[in-house]
Chains A and B, each alone.
Chain A
């Protein structure tokens, strides 16, 4: 039975290794910010960071994350780009229904961690999550805004 390192804490969920990470987070750890969207890694609503990499948890068994560091939206503040991303998301008024936004925010944090000044093309290839409300233009602006804030350094 694997232990999980989630948002800086060791958690023992007592589930088998084949259990999907998404549902362990949602049902066993009460971390409902990470969403179920498609179950086949096609929509990105379930994105979390596993050792800093954006990972679609609906198809990720617990065995695959043993010994790795997991950050969900609830623990996003531990990642350096969070304050800039959070502020940009609010400034651009990104969310509508809001359901896909945890996955979007985590994907954006991962992008900014490895590419602090992404181009539009970089955003196109990194943000492949689905939003049915069509918040894409706002997400694009928010990522650029966050990148600018990060470039200016901590305030």
Chain B
């Protein structure tokens, strides 16, 4: 214990020294001006960019450069709304483009969120760590979409951009009229002075010559007209009539298609493939062997004039693989290892308050239980794909990616060109959920394109390749011990979790030299070490384990399993204390008013306590993630055949304030259905080093008939508490359903997916 605490302090100290250098460096280099115009922004005729973030077109349209990728979460609407508010333009004039790759569009919030401190920790240490990481993010300049950070990261800069552009337009009008800018006002895309007026489109050329003001005045939130409205999404029409372009829809002249087979055993390699037979098949143009890299598995690809021909030809290759060192890996052995590690001596402390071990040893009654979840695939609807062209020393990449900056960095090597000669084109993502933060398909497509010089190649993974070569949500196991106090509250809490590190694995894939176990990965224990409940003695630990199965970010990451563990176990503790699970949580949240309000809202709207038909139960769960607080009540009916039917989910969220309440509501629905698929069906298992599942028939997800009615209620707590919405809907649903199953049947399910005996 003492040893690990000392080590923790050393690590923090080391981090701070690093941070101090970065902060020093930041002031030395001067802050990046996040409004400056990046090079190479294209302008149609008569249009001009006012800052990096918006352009006013000749017809009066306002085109916003959206720095995050649209994967369903609504960023191409929510972020333009921030600009429109301060620009004072008609929301009907809004258009969007995905921003090009440039450090000005970096996501620094994502880095700052990664530090292993509780979100409510505002100590100088936590603040310094966050500021340092934020600056690292700015210096690295990585555009990344994830961690439910898009609105939070854009909140300052994109409102500021709108305000700066407005000031430039006013300045241009004032100069033309020879009046003081302060005497002009704006109104829905028009500058006015007395009875004179000029539309923004008439002023844009002159406005573009005005200096960009560094610190334009921002509106008082009470004046908001666009922010806070349920503006319809700008991308919905194109996504209804089939015209929306995803990565897989990219069509460039001379396009060829590639299909591939990857070594089914993790870490294996190619033994032999019969290229001649495949090459003799119609349309086949090349067979390309791809060696394993830190980023991608060993594979053989076929390039043909049609994708289905390339895929057919894979069979003719009659590939043989070297299984490598992991041929014996299977789920049963992993479960045994994890269970042993739960009982072992090695663990990293994520939170230690009071003396939980001592209190538990002295307690008369200790509630204890073990929980577990399996690996999960992402199964984005759009199969993994990437289009690449290597020509004239340049590499063009078309890919739906959560990080176009990483695409630029990672494609250069395999394409054999300089980084600054990689051009990244970013269409819509047909689902991301963390999967499209990975660079495997980019590296493969670039390597293939390098060999098929002069012709663009679209590499598409089959669904089977996707399910069997994902980076998985980690399998995890947890143990809990809890002692109650005399009043029926919690006196001591000890929670230990075993699993792999997503951040560690991700780093090892992208930059093996930078991978290290020294830094604690916050994601492994998030949702376990940062609980809002009153627990005077608590110890939360994580045991890091390395496995050959690649793991990665999966919608809500560590929260996706820790919320299930914590909230289902808390239900057990409530029952052990002979308390209603909702009232029990209420008592533990006396010092957490925001959490309490959200919990109350969900319980009241769900009719908590009212009677239900037989074999039907209600379960409640609460989880804070990505700076938002979400509570859900699930109503579950258990059929005569023990089938679970989730009839209704009532959801309450406090994300501070909603920039677009319509989008928040739909993200809650989305997160709930995603989490429900994992709660009811999701399971990736291993045998002989291979994933046993391969496609939707054996990796099923919620469909219409299994989808509950969902109600969302937004609890407002102010703009100062802005939180994310893409992920926070997911964590509470599995425990809410598990707790409802207990209420309906008296059976406590401690393993996902939920199956009644």
Judge whether A97 and B707 touch: CB under 8 Å: no
In angstroms, how far is the closest chain B Cβ from the Cβ of A121?
9
Judge whether A27 and B307 touch: CB under 8 Å: yes
Chain A 112-134 interface 0/1 with B at a Cβ cutoff of 8 Å (1 = within): 00000000000111011111111
> Given the interface contacts A130-B696, A133-B72, does A89 sit within 8 Å of B240 by beta carbon?
yes
Pick from A19, A39, A131: contact of B462, CB under 8 Å: A39
Judge whether B707 and A137 touch: CB under 8 Å: yes
Judge whether B242 and A74 touch: CB under 8 Å: yes
Judge whether B670 and A27 touch: CB under 8 Å: no
Judge whether B431 and A133 touch: CB under 8 Å: yes
Judge whether B240 and A40 touch: CB under 8 Å: no
Q: In the assembly, what is the distance between CA of A9 and CA of B141, in Å?
A: 50
Which secondary structure dominates where chain A touches chain B?
loop
Total chain B interface residues with beta-carbon distance under 8 A:
61
Which residues of chain A are near B72, meaning CB under 8 Å?
95-98, 133
Chain B 652-692 interface 0/1 with A at a Cβ cutoff of 8 Å (1 = within): 00000000001000100111111001000000000000000
> Given the interface contacts A38-B695, A132-B379, A133-B670, does A140 sit within 8 Å of B704 by beta carbon?
yes
Judge whether B695 and A40 touch: CB under 8 Å: yes
Q: In the assembly, what is the distance between CA of A38 and CA of B698, in Å?
A: 12
The segment from B245-253, B262-270, B273-281, B321-329 that touches chain A is B245-253
In angstroms, how far is the closest chain A Cβ from the Cβ of B384?
11
Judge whether A20 and B431 touch: CB under 8 Å: no
Which residues of chain A are near B248, meaning CB under 8 Å?
32, 35-36
Judge whether A32 and B236 touch: CB under 8 Å: no
Pick from B245, B380, B669: contact of A132, CB under 8 Å: B380
In the complex, the chain B residue whose C-beta lies closest to that of A106 is: B242
Please give the residue numbers on chain B whose beta carbons come within 8 Å of chain A beta carbons, in ascending order: 70-74, 232-233, 235-246, 248-249, 251, 257, 306-308, 379-383, 428-433, 460, 462-464, 662, 666, 669-674, 677, 695-697, 701-705, 707, 709-710
Q: What are 21 A-to-B residue pairs whose CB atoms are below 8 Å? A: A27-B257, A30-B251, A32-B248, A33-B242, A38-B463, A38-B696, A40-B697, A42-B696, A42-B697, A74-B241, A95-B72, A98-B246, A99-B380, A99-B381, A99-B428, A124-B705, A129-B703, A131-B381, A132-B677, A136-B703, A138-B666
Which residues of chain A are near B236, meaning CB under 8 Å?
89-90, 93-95
Which residues of chain A are near B428, meaning CB under 8 Å?
97-99
In the complex, the chain B residue whose C-beta lies closest to that of A75 is: B242
Of residues 7 through 25 on chain A, the ones whose CB sits less than 8 Å from some CB of chain B are 19-20, 23
Q: In the assembly, what is the distance between CA of A99 and CA of B431, in Å?
A: 8
Q: In the assembly, what is the distance between CA of A85 and CA of B238, in Å?
A: 14
Which residues of chain A are near B379, meaning CB under 8 Å?
132
Q: A20-B308, A35-B430, A95-B240 are in contact. List 20 more A-B contacts (CB 8 A).
A: A23-B306, A37-B382, A40-B697, A90-B236, A93-B233, A93-B666, A96-B73, A96-B670, A97-B430, A105-B240, A123-B704, A124-B704, A124-B705, A127-B704, A132-B379, A132-B431, A132-B701, A133-B72, A133-B431, A135-B669
In angstroms, how far is the closest chain B Cβ from the Cβ of A66?
18
Q: In the assembly, what is the distance between CA of A12 and CA of B430, in Å?
A: 30
Of residues 79 through 112 on chain A, the ones whose CB sits less than 8 Å from some CB of chain B are 86, 89-90, 93-102, 105
Q: In the assembly, what is the distance between CA of A73 and CA of B243, in Å?
A: 9
In angstroms, how far is the closest chain B Cβ from the Cβ of A16?
8
Q: In the assembly, what is the distance between CA of A57 and CA of B539, in Å?
A: 55
Which residues of chain A are near B432, meaning CB under 8 Å?
97
Which residues of chain B are near A27, meaning CB under 8 Å?
257, 306-307
Which residues of chain A are near B709, meaning CB under 8 Å?
137
> Given the interface contacts A90-B236, A134-B672, does A96 sit within 8 Å of B666 by beta carbon?
yes
Which residues of chain A are near B249, meaning CB under 8 Å?
32
Which residues of chain A are near B701, meaning CB under 8 Å?
130, 132
Judge whether B460 and A36 touch: CB under 8 Å: yes
In angstroms, how far is the closest chain B Cβ from the Cβ of A37?
6
Judge whether A136 and B429 touch: CB under 8 Å: no
Q: In the assembly, what is the distance between CA of A86 and CA of B238, in Å?
A: 11
A34 contacts B by Cβ under 8 Å? yes
Which residues of chain A are near B669, meaning CB under 8 Å?
134-135, 137-138
> Given the interface contacts A98-B430, A134-B674, A137-B709, does A35 sit within 8 Å of B74 by beta carbon?
no
In angstroms, how far is the closest chain A Cβ from the Cβ of B612?
20
Of residues 55 through 84 on chain A, the ones whose CB sits less than 8 Å from some CB of chain B are 72-74, 76
Judge whether A95 and B239 touch: CB under 8 Å: yes
A147 contacts B by Cβ under 8 Å? no
Q: Which of B235, B381, B460, B703 has the most chain A CB atoms closer than 10 A to its own CB?
A: B381
Q: In the assembly, what is the distance between CA of A125 and CA of B239, in Å?
A: 24
